[in-house]
Amino acid sequence: MGRVASFVTIENSSSPDKKIECDALVDTGASHMVLPAAWRHRLGELKQLAEIELEMANQTPIKGSVCGPVQIQIEGFRPIFSEVIFVEMEPKDGQYEPLIGYVVLEQAQAAVDMMGHRLVHVKRLDLK
């Protein structure tokens, strides 16, 4: 399986001048937009909604802080309002790897094209 990444902008809904622009890995095994805790200050004051338990792909448990509301825009897709989860991350080769999860993808009407290793627009949302 290949890697799918996309450019994304995350803005504080109350202070649009506080934002993060970055490339993020599309991870359909993750639920939310996941950012490194080291970047939290870049979005300014966000309401912390919960401290939650998470499980990494290797089944390691970690804690995360759910914060929001934020506006998230995946390049080429409409912006959505959602939450982000901040977690302690170790940079790989000096770079953090934010994740775009399936909740964000569904809200933005984006789907993963596995053959083309890219995101594509979903024409209709499911109501069933």
| Domain that residue 114 falls in | 5-121
Token pair in block for residue 60: 């390691």
In the DSSP assignment, the letter for residue 102 is H
Find out whether 33 and 46 touch, Cβ atoms under 8 Å: no
CB 108 within 8 A of CB 125: no
User: Does 1 have pLDDT greater than 80?
Assistant: no
Among 38, 28, 40, 89, smallest CA distance to 67 is for 40
| Residue 116 falls inside a structural domain | yes
pLDDT in tens, 71-93: 999 999 999 999 999 999 999 89
Q: Give the CATH number, domain containing residue 14.
A: 2.40.70.10
Average pLDDT over all residues of the chain? 95
Could you report the per-residue pLDDT of 90-107, keeping only the tens digit for each?
998 999 999 999 999 999
Give CA separation, 102 vs 33, 45, 110, in Å.
9, 25, 9
Q: What is the pTM for the complete model shown?
A: 0.93
Number of domains in the chain: 1
Residue 128 belongs to some domain of the structure: no
Q: Does residue 75 belong to any structural domain of this protein?
A: yes
